[in-house]
Structure 1
């Protein structure tokens, strides 16, 4: 076992031993606290977020932040026992914790430590390591040696020969020296799915159809061995992914398993052969030491009362020879021992199947083994096995009973068949939080699916599978508000593969297209939470086309589909004509059928589009129409939704007190429990708090704004709603951090926005992130140039105004003319002030002064005290000392708190200078 010694000051931390020592004396500290301290020490000097800590210390568990604080307090008490006053753990509000110390890490074991392994990389899957390998020691050693000399090693062999087991054994040896990661390609059908599976294993979300730049960037400087398991069914896609990683990620080594080589340049191949089998003339001593016999005997002993002895050794040897030493076939045969006995097993194989022909292809031998195993099943078990091949992920007994229903409602009969299949090792059994779940090995699944297709029951089973998916999504909706998000995603996140399969059938020629439309709508949180926006957009469009073909457009279902399409269009390519058409269609249908939620949602989308285009008065009027004057029994969620939009648009027309009064009341009563069906309207609490924080900041309540936005960002990341997170970052967190002059916080938020936009293919948000990044550079004194974008486009009017309030140098004649033409709004005062600075630099002091005076008057009338302070500071530089003091003092008095904000610092710097 690796034994690390982590030293800092007078402290010695030995995480593997669970010890913290100071001056040789052991300090009392719990295991959770030790784990937290270890993580902080590994990354000494860096800020480690609360989410990263909980992911390491409490994996797959939702933990309240106060629980984390308790453990950090315990660590601080322990550190105070040392003699080093300069060692401390500091809390950076809203960002995480940092250990300030000079840390050294030594590995005292014989092998290199795995301390550098990223906690984000998923461990090897325990279900695939239940049994130890027999007869494969040389193969594992060959794989390990090949990985040391080559960057791509492919284990090639027939189905059921043990490729995955050998690969996992090799990774288990390697993991003590280098990080390893396991990627299961079983459910992948395209390059997009290969990329998604790899990103998921690395816990790096993505959402595009080819190997994403973000994923390559994630691994560009990484040092790890990445295992791609089960490549044979999409060999071209796996090869493309391998080439991309090998070309761009020099520290990544790939280990693949496949029935055929990837045929990529530089590929090293380890061909896995069947286990050796005993010869007919071998004595008993030789037979008992044979790997095939040892494997069969161990699995047969596990299945029932069996032991290898001198009297049955020759029969076992005959069975192993007839099965060509194929591990899966041996295991299947061993599992049948309790039912047939060794005598029946050996005679049945000899009499019914031609396994003795050594010229027979190995996959045909496995097919024969599966045929033989299939023929041993009862009719019920055969049908159930075929139906279960439709599942893409694991499933429980209730799911199996619904999809493989025998005789109508006889669930007990179906359940009995499922349990028998598990007993015979045709179903793998895995533990879960809810008890046990089942899955089919890939080779068994492919075989069972062929049997189902030839049985005439495939369409019936596919319908039942799709109906089960609908039942699962109904249950997911019921649990959405009851469960914390981590638990919900652990339970339902893997359903995306089954949802995809159900949609393929439902929306196909022979499917239930009505059910398909329902599933498209019900699965929205899954697609959004898994960042599969591009694919979900295609399903939405296909569902709308389906309604059109059925002659059923113009109802509630089309409303929901068009709303989803609007959200995806907004994020993918900012609001345009297609967005407006879809939103207008929602409004038209909502009016026709009298649906208040549909009308309100359409008006919200149209109001948002007008607001982004700078038509704030029109945007406010549209927002007010969300609540009809005659409405008296409006649903509370709808009312809060409408009032939140009204508050935002009221702010944008410059009526700050009215806006903050509405949003303050909503913030007090809001929660992050967004309704399942409202996921496409953004998370209410996230957006509400972000908008409220912006209003507070412009009012000069900077401390309150900073606090509410930092908390909102932390919560939004936990809720897994990427569109809401990007909106919050772009519209509130990034600009407010820049207004405060907190360049470090601003860069943090800009990086978060950029990563989220790239991961989810949000073109519009990526453009905003690029602009904010450039603004950060401008504030650090770099030359003023527009950001370099893949598709350079000028910012939309409202976005441009936001940029100007963050960097006055971006103000130009167009922005000033638009501010003058469209009346006073939320940023008018700051735009005029920025124009005044431009005029001042051009040598027109009088025009500059006039702009400053007008900006100050507008800001004071609006109660925009942050803009007022900026205008007063600009004006103070042009006036006498006494006049400057009279201008600055009231403006400074309106700013909340005494924090060292940039604008406060600039204003205060003038007072002593002007009064000397």
Structure 2
């Protein structure tokens, strides 16, 4: 976008808002009109709109015309003050789509200038515009990725673009994982997750699938599935051979042109291969292309057959061996060539070049080069030194070797927010890995790599307490491929089994945050088997593995018998080892299971045992965890004021830094606020409950803990939205819960999402979407009570009998009232009135203001006007909220009618 000739940046949402205001310049456009245009069918908070309006104003101020302004008309909306002329726009640049819930990662940074590929980039762009699958085909190291990224950079102004690198993928599941990560979309266990495909079904997107050759069949199946299911998605692939998918268009990438033997100096200097070599050699230092050396450079380029990677490697060596030695060495080593089957000749050329480069290295440099092939992602200097070191006294020499490898371009150096990082190019990495395997040092190097992963996870644990979560994930989220590789080695036959178990434990927050529950479950099972093989069950390692298993079991299929066995095993070992954290965690899990089964007094009794009486020097994080659980269980037995006091004190203490390992116990800050919003709502503090809840959901989503987020949505967000009478908000939260649960294969949470969504539909007078509520498993007792508080018609004889037989709990009063409504529908007015009176008395005694208001309203309908006023006035007096809430509105309408 240009403002007075000045380029300014606006996001797609802000641009859509500005376009709407421009269409109706001079008019006041209501907030609702803006939301309907820019966020159709999505619940949006007011501050979201304000953020985008602020961005527009900032962009307008960047121009030269200060007469253009956006005016906020309080209570009405926004108006654009400007003279607007509507002109026809470039069809390709118009209406760049906004893809819901898809926020692709930025394209990889191309540090070096692309040389000699301009026409090919144009061809790729035009082909992608006309066809849905375009594959750039060429040999290794020829520059396929660079051309593809350059094409995406040009397409980026017209549509959404995304790059998926398959380099570290080994299966269809990993391809799906890489795609979801690049799109920043959560991931479950399906090879091509249905939710991921569903999100792309209506998206207009160009998706680059990079480096397909090692997974050609898998990549082809994935491409065909996306093309069939997502009609507006276009695919750009890079591979050493075609995908052979129907409709595929191939763009073949050949080596750069090389100078002829008889070419003039002027022709040589204009040649792309020479230009590439000269630029990279100049960057390496001490080289400049001139008439005197042009023909020698041309000879080098011919010897390298114009292969870009080989040219770069040779250019990097120029300062060390000189152009004369470089030319003679290549001539003797790289020719004659043996041309065989398709692609093999180019591979042999690159292999010969890498052989030659490898032999130029010192023994220490060769060892370092081979060891660095173990890294799956980028790595920093300290990591390179640790993995490449042979023995500790030689660390200084190793550091020098790493720097030399970077100088010689065998290590690519890339900028990062934390300085620079290194990586090996794909073909170089494969070559280095073969050298490592043949050296006999592969197992030693794999151990050092696994130990480095362990140190990285230790550093991640420390930084967890100090960094913003978004920054933390940016720094450590890319480590998953290296973690996986370290686990493969350490838990394998030749690995260090103890180290493997340690890595399994330390990596838990990464697996959970990256939504890789299915794969983490497999690593847990392998770690259990390893413990059995070592004969080391019953220790601290088993405690942490069992806790991780409990988290998975809870979400996969309700807290059943296997969950109870695992939690009980944690408690048994924790008592034996006198481990207070593990003991508290086990009792929390058992307490939660007891509460879900409807035994709230038993649940509270277990929660009250989480800290050993008289224990001293208890960790603050553990204290907060125990108090949070006790606040919740105290609420559930109906002691609302006591629960609210505990939670308010926890929130006031601002203890928002949950320990790294405590991720398995949910995020403390958001869960304590979510639980407190439930208490506030039942107390009748409706406005406070709504404000706290909405802020907490936003924070919880940002923290990337799917298990914790699902718990918050199911236990607080959905029910509170229903209690507040905001059925649209309840449906939005239920859909969010359903999407997150499906992405992570959380069966239990997916069922709860279906219940809440169905209840919202029933309240709005529409039949629930399939599957119907009658197709689900019967809800567990506590869940059923929650559903009844949201939709009284769900109350049946079983729920009433259970409420009347046990000690009064948080929902007893509302269940009694719901039973009274059922009796009233059956014309049993006397029994109905008795239930309403019991409900009102119990709710008043508990301080459950919302239940008291509902019971008072039900009872007042059966009384005289004077008696109705006597009942309703005190019930309304304790409610924080106005007619915005349906329960308040109904009570006040009844009160107004009784006063006539």
- TM-score computed with the length of structure 1 as normaliser: 0.89
Q: Distance in 1 between matches of 2:48 and 2:251?
A: 38
From 208, 215, 226, give the equivalent of 1:245: 226
Q: Distance in 1 between matches of 2:463 and 2:542?
A: 25
From 206, 215, 218, give the equivalent of 1:225: 206
Q: Distance in 2 between matches of 1:843 and 1:40?
A: 46
Structure 1 residue 149 and structure 2 residue 144: aligned?
Answer: no
Q: Distance in 1 between matches of 2:66 and 2:732?
A: 31
8 Å CA contact retained: 1:167, 1:255 = yes
Q: Distance in 2 between matches of 1:397 and 1:419?
A: 9
8 Å CA contact retained: 1:230, 1:257 = yes
2:857 matched residue in structure 1: 873
- 1:99-498 alignment, distance < 5 Å: 112-113=92-93, 116=96, 118=98, 121-122=103-104, 125-134=107-116, 136-357=117-338, 361-498=345-482
- Per the TM alignment, residue 758 of structure 1 is displaced from its structure 2 partner at its CA by 2.5
> Could you say what secondary structure the match of 2:185 adopts?
coil
- Per the TM alignment, residue 596 of structure 1 is displaced from its structure 2 partner at its CA by 1.9
Summarize the Cα distance change of 1:384–1:85 in structure 2 as closer, same or farther, 3 Å threshold.
Answer: closer
Per-residue CA deviations over 1:762-783 (Å, capped at 9, x if unaligned) read: 2211111111111111111124
Q: Distance in 2 between matches of 1:262 and 1:54?
A: 47
RMSD between aligned residues: 3.5
State which drifts further: 639-648 or 243-252: 639-648
Q: Distance in 1 between matches of 2:742 and 2:544?
A: 26
8 Å CA contact retained: 1:885, 1:911 = yes
Q: Distance in 2 between matches of 1:447 and 1:301?
A: 26
2:38 matched residue in structure 1: 43
> Could you say what secondary structure the match of 2:110 adopts?
helix
> Could you say what secondary structure the match of 2:207 adopts?
strand
Structure 1 residue 775 and structure 2 residue 775: aligned?
Answer: no
8 Å CA contact retained: 1:620, 1:646 = yes
8 Å CA contact retained: 2:140, 2:427 = yes
1:9 matched residue in structure 2: none
8 Å CA contact retained: 1:767, 1:789 = no
Per-residue CA deviations over 1:121-179 (Å, capped at 9, x if unaligned) read: 44653533521231x23322322232122211111111011111111222222223222
Summarize the Cα distance change of 1:790–1:487 in structure 2 as closer, same or farther, 3 Å threshold.
Answer: farther
> Could you say what secondary structure the match of 1:389 adopts?
helix
8 Å CA contact retained: 1:154, 1:257 = yes
Per-residue CA deviations over 1:344-397 (Å, capped at 9, x if unaligned) read: 111111223324455562112111111111111111111101100111111111
- Per the TM alignment, residue 183 of structure 1 is displaced from its structure 2 partner at its CA by 1.6
Q: Distance in 2 between matches of 1:621 and 1:162?
A: 66
State which drifts further: 655-664 or 878-887: 655-664
1:582 matched residue in structure 2: 566
2:701 matched residue in structure 1: 717
2:28 matched residue in structure 1: none
> Could you say what secondary structure the match of 1:410 adopts?
helix
- 1:593-604 alignment, distance < 5 Å: 593-604=577-588
> Could you say what secondary structure the match of 1:205 adopts?
coil
- TM-score computed with the length of structure 2 as normaliser: 0.90
1:505 matched residue in structure 2: 489
Summarize the Cα distance change of 1:902–1:73 in structure 2 as closer, same or farther, 3 Å threshold.
Answer: farther
State which drifts further: 525-534 or 511-520: 525-534
State which drifts further: 292-301 or 539-548: 292-301
- Per the TM alignment, residue 405 of structure 1 is displaced from its structure 2 partner at its CA by 0.5
Q: Distance in 2 between matches of 1:686 and 1:326?
A: 54
Structure 1 residue 741 and structure 2 residue 725: aligned?
Answer: yes
> Could you say what secondary structure the match of 1:381 adopts?
helix
1:65 matched residue in structure 2: none
State which drifts further: 409-418 or 558-567: 409-418
- 1:1-16 alignment, distance < 5 Å: none
Q: Distance in 1 between matches of 2:510 and 2:519?
A: 12
1:828 matched residue in structure 2: 812
1:646 matched residue in structure 2: 630
> Could you say what secondary structure the match of 2:392 adopts?
coil
Q: Distance in 2 between matches of 1:762 and 1:831?
A: 29
8 Å CA contact retained: 1:804, 1:811 = yes
Structure 1 residue 628 and structure 2 residue 623: aligned?
Answer: no
2:31 matched residue in structure 1: none
From 682, 694, 717, give the equivalent of 1:698: 682
Structure 1 residue 680 and structure 2 residue 668: aligned?
Answer: no
Q: Distance in 2 between matches of 1:423 and 1:42?
A: 53
> Could you say what secondary structure the match of 2:159 adopts?
coil
State which drifts further: 700-709 or 347-356: 347-356
Q: Distance in 2 between matches of 1:55 and 1:267?
A: 43
> Could you say what secondary structure the match of 1:769 adopts?
helix
Q: Distance in 2 between matches of 1:74 and 1:666?
A: 44
Structure 1 residue 817 and structure 2 residue 798: aligned?
Answer: no
Per-residue CA deviations over 1:846-888 (Å, capped at 9, x if unaligned) read: 2222222222222122221211111111111112111111111
1:60 matched residue in structure 2: none
Per-residue CA deviations over 1:425-477 (Å, capped at 9, x if unaligned) read: 11110112222111111111111011001001111100001111111111111
Q: Distance in 2 between matches of 1:829 and 1:786?
A: 32
8 Å CA contact retained: 1:849, 1:878 = yes
State which drifts further: 662-671 or 508-517: 662-671
1:31 matched residue in structure 2: none
Per-residue CA deviations over 1:751-810 (Å, capped at 9, x if unaligned) read: 322232223222211111111111111111124788548983221111111011011121
Q: Distance in 1 between matches of 2:774 and 2:371?
A: 47
Summarize the Cα distance change of 1:690–1:121 in structure 2 as closer, same or farther, 3 Å threshold.
Answer: closer
Residue-pair matches, total: 875
State which drifts further: 764-773 or 81-90: 81-90
> Could you say what secondary structure the match of 2:374 adopts?
coil
Summarize the Cα distance change of 1:277–1:50 in structure 2 as closer, same or farther, 3 Å threshold.
Answer: farther
Q: Which runs of 5+ in 1 are unaligned?
A: 7-12, 26-38, 58-67, 91-97
Q: Distance in 2 between matches of 1:323 and 1:449?
A: 23
Per-residue CA deviations over 1:624-644 (Å, capped at 9, x if unaligned) read: 121233434433332332222
